[in-house]
Each structure stands twice: as structure tokens, then as C-alpha cells.
Structure 1
């Protein structure tokens, strides 16, 4: 291996370590007993790096938030390929519901706080709306794959069923803070409700 390639590998590893450290700090600000809003200054301080390092790594606050959402999705094992390989619509919807319920369950407190803060933080609110729109696109694509004649209202209703707020309400809360329903159990409820809505919407 040439010295140049070795140095490049070291720089890349250091950059990845810095990126992970910053994202862990951002998540930590939200997960703590007194959650702090995700600002560049707060994250830089928590990660023990300079403000400029955060900008050099993510480009902007929006880039930082995008990286945080991607990291949370990766942590949950989010994947939707099975939904598009499913043999029928009920199976496809079950895969979609399971994927999103696992995601919401994976870091429930952090995701709840992010969505709450989005009402007051314009950048965060926009990012959340964009992510929600991506979820709607996934659902619309799955329905189109199976030639489901669902109108926009039905798609919107199913979309709401797969959102965090619905998951949070259906999963419930035990006295010890744990969910009353697991992600798998919650996904079953979501899938059944989604199929009922689509059946009603497509009746002649």
C-alpha cells in the first residue's frame, strides 16, 4: 500500500469517527432527562468539536438533521424491499407497517421529542414534513404496484396510520415506561385498519 493510500484511509476513518461522534451527541441531547434542542452550537459542544467541524462534516444544520434521521433509520434496521417483493397487498402493507413500527419503537423517546420540537423549529419541522412525505410516497407506490384503486383520501388515511403519532398511541405506555404493545403487535393493528380502509374505499 502506498503512503498516499494509507493516509487517505486514515483521513476517511477519522472523518467517519467524527461524523459518528457528532450524530451520537445530537441523539444524546434528545435522549437525556432534560432534552436540548438540536442546534449546531449545542451539538458541537456535546461532541467536543468546533462549530466549524460540524459544518465541515454536514454542510448545514439541515444536513446535520438529515444525517441524524438517516442514522436513526439505520439503527432500526429500516428496509422496505420486502414490501415491493410481496405476493399480495395484505403482505405488502404488513411489511410497510412492520418497518415503520420498528423504526418508531427503536428510539421512541428521541423520535417523540424530535416531532414535538419540530413545531417550534422551522428547519426541523421542514425535515420532518419531508420525511413524512417520503413515507406517503412509499405507500402510494406500494398501492399502485398492486393496482389498488384507492383515492387520495384513502391513501392519506393509511399514511396517517403508519405515522409516529398513531404508533405512539397504539403502542401505549406501561407504568415502567415500556410499550404495552410490541412493534409487531402494533403493526398488526395498523395493517388490519389499513386494509379495512382500502376495502371500504374501493367498494363499488
Structure 2
């Protein structure tokens, strides 16, 4: 059974069809890239996989469960296992919160925060993504782009996910920093067995990082 199995996915915004009957499957421990020009439907596909928003048609099977037919309350316990990492490392974290609070937030929202062990868990997550625990005392604007994106990855890992939806996670970073973040993601995948749905328009990055590539254009898959 694939970790993720998407069948004939359709996403519409009003009268515009952004994703038109897209299908693919992703195994645990695999990186599947959606590649194509801006506006081709890559990010809309990724968000629909996360049920943000709900697709207009099609099916999304995650760990054997079909998500589109579930109510929001039925989806809630599954959401921690599917986590996004977005393109803008600063925009994905609240500028008002310290990094430690941003990383702790998923644990608190999910009712898993332990006042005694929680700070150690946050420090562990920061260390795992290559940050010093002291970075937790800073606000996002006090970190570099690469450090901030690593903090975003730590925040995603706090939920113990099985799937990361990586929406252009390195396109805003300098090339040298980009390589470090990609190496981090590869190491985490090897260590944790994560599945990656990797959204990227840069073919050179895709060739380096992905196990398989699906090309998209005008909302459709042009080559599996």
C-alpha cells in the first residue's frame, strides 16, 4: 500500500480548473517531485493533498484512508501525520513568536505538550535540524533564511509526520544554503523513513533530489 495515493484529483477556483485529473502514488521513504512552470498546478495539487482546500473531485488516500470523504473532525487526528514546509521561511513562522514557541506550538495544539519534558523536546528538534538550541530564544527575523527554514522543518517534525509536503522549500535560499537544507532533508528521510512530495520548478534541483519526477503543465500531468 502506498503512503499516498492520489486519483483523478481536480481543484477548481471558481470557474478556473487549476488541477485536472492528476494521479500519482508515493511510497514511504520516497521523494516524488512535481515539476513544471509557475501556474501549472503544482502547489494547488500539494495543498489539495493536505485538504487545504478540499478538492472538487478525485480521491486522496493516505496510509490507506481516503481523505476527501472525511469530515473535518475525522481529518483532525490525521493532519499531524501530513505536514507542509513552505517556500518562504519567514512567512511560515509568526514574527511575534520566538523560534522555541513556534516549534512547540504543534505539540500544544495537539495536546501533547509536557511542561517538564517539552523544552527538552524542542531543543532536540532544533539540534536534529542543525540548529543550536540557543536559536530557540530568537525571533525569525534574527535568523538567516537557511536557519529559519531549518526551524520550519523542526516545527513540521514536532508532529511526528509520515509525509512532508515540501512546496518550493529551497527556492528562496542562496545556492550554498540550498545545498545544506537539501542534505538535511535527505538525512532526515533516511533516518525517519519520511515520504516527500517535493514541489519545485528548478529541474537541476529536482534531478539531484527526487527519486521520481512528474511533469505538470496547465493543471495536467504531461509525463509520469
TM-score (norm 1): 0.29
**Structure with bigger gyration radius:** 1
Higher-RCO chain (CA-CA 8 Å, sequence separation at least 6): 2
- Give the TM-score normalised by the residue count of structure 2: 0.27
Q: Which has the higher helix share?
A: 1
Normalized per residue, which structure has more strand? 2
